[in-house]
Chain A
Amino acid sequence: MTDYIVPLILFFTAAAALRKRENAYDILLQGAGDGLKLLVSILPALVLLLTAVYMLRASGAVELLSRMAAPLFSFFGIPPETAMLVLIRPISGSAALAVGAELMAEYGVDSLIGRTAAVMLGSTETTFYTISVYFGAAGIQKTRYTIPAALFADFVGFFMASCTVRWLF
């Protein structure tokens, strides 16, 4: 069933565009070009961040962190191997992607840890970045309870990612 979700989304989008007599192919091309620009803009950050992540991994610091975080993570049923990802996710999107990709490569994409990392990446946002962009642009000084509420939502995301992967696979 899930196999057809993505192909059908592609078809229905094109069909809806054609019904409105839009030039579907041209719009797709424009969008793909925007995607390439986005990619070029994040590439330098990925290079720098993966350098740091690889260093951290080679030094044995990641295992050390996982071991320290293990009791707390196990209590909530979150794999302790994802500690680094959980810590960096709210701060930097590209760093989280780098850490997540490494987890998937190391433990296998279809392993419990690899899948949990993928779901965590797909269902959470770079919370601090989003908050600083919105509040910076709107000139907000008094943020009240936004940060605790947003971080709570992140925690629910990490927790639920671990649960859903355990239930569904």
Chain B
Amino acid sequence: MVMSWIWAGIVLVSILCSFLTGSGAKLAAATVEGAQGGVTLAVSMAGAICLWTGVGKLMERAGLTQALARLLSPLIGRLFPGTKRDGALAQDLSANICANFLGLGNAATPMGISAAKRMKRGDTATDELCRLIVLNTASIQLIPANVAAVRTNLGCGTPFDILPAVWITSLCSAGLGVTAAWLLGKVWKE
């Protein structure tokens, strides 16, 4: 529903603005160009999305997800103390974080939801659940495949040169986001 309002709003704003700037002819042409642009964008990402979904699945089956989960267990234990009492929760959580890391958003969501159900108290989000959501919205991802595909398609010879910048940025936003959640948790009691 939100998207319907946004979409209609964008169209209305465009009409009003083009009326003011007198660019009506360009506006009409833009509708057709935009629709075609959507198809072009999807096709330009197709190869990279297919390849990296495949690699992500392979990483999972090759046991790299579990290895990563073992590596992360000290961190997960500290962020989510509940995992020490609940083995299934620990498993769901590490699987969720690892799947996100490998860019398997669709695989991450069911495990994240199952963890969320174990963490909630009635209809209230616990501190641990808030932290989980912040981690999930901060997107720590190894390879942002679709962005790299868009760059390649626009003629970029080194589409992955942004990786270090992406990793530093993700770590900062996840780290500071979780810190903010922890501080807010101290004042914003259940």
B109 closest partner in A (C-beta): A133
The contact of B34 among A28, A53, A161, by CB within 8 Å, is A53
Q: A68 interface residue, CB < 8 Å from B?
A: no
**With contacts A50-B35, A153-B180 known, is A59 near B18, CB below 8 A?**
yes
- The count of A-to-B residue pairs whose CB atoms sit within 8 angstroms is 337
A135 touches B169 (CB 8 A): no
Q: Hey, which chain B residues are within 8 Å of A57, CB to CB? A: 30
- Chain A 7-34 residues near chain B, CB threshold 8 A: 9-10, 13-14, 16-17, 19-20, 22, 24, 27-34
Contact A119 to B162, CB < 8 A, known contacts A138-B113, A144-B190, A156-B176? yes
CB B48 to nearest CB in A, in angstroms, measures 9
Q: Is the CB of B54 within 8 A of A134?
A: no
Q: In this assembly, does B64 line the interface, its C-beta being within 8 Å of a C-beta of chain A?
A: yes
CB proximity to B under 8 Å, residues A55-112: 55-61, 64, 91-92, 95, 97-98, 100-101, 104-105, 109-110
- Determine the chain B residues whose CB is within 8 A of the CB of A10 once the complex forms: 55
Interface string of B131-144 (1 = CB under 8 A from A): 01110111101111
Task: Type the 1/0 row for B24-36, where 1 means its CB is closer than 8 Å to any CB of A.
Answer: 0011011101110
Interface of A: prevailing SS:
helix
Nearest neighbor of A128 in chain B, beta-carbon distance: B2
Which residues does chain B contribute within 8 Å of A51, judged by CB atoms?
30-31, 34-35, 38
Q: Which residues of A contact B (CB under 8 A)?
A: 2-3, 5-6, 9-10, 13-14, 16-17, 19-20, 22, 24, 27-36, 38-39, 42-43, 46-61, 64, 91-92, 95, 97-98, 100-101, 104-105, 109-110, 115, 118-119, 121-128, 130-131, 133-135, 137-146, 148-150, 152-154, 156-157, 160-161, 164-165, 168-169
A-B contact pairs, 17 of them (CB 8 A): A2-B163, A20-B63, A24-B62, A28-B54, A35-B49, A53-B34, A61-B13, A104-B154, A115-B165, A119-B165, A123-B139, A134-B109, A137-B117, A143-B125, A145-B184, A146-B133, A150-B133
Q: A39-B50, A123-B144 are in contact. List 16 more A-B contacts (CB 8 A).
A: A27-B54, A34-B57, A43-B39, A56-B17, A58-B26, A61-B14, A110-B156, A119-B162, A122-B162, A145-B130, A149-B184, A153-B176, A153-B180, A154-B138, A157-B173, A164-B169
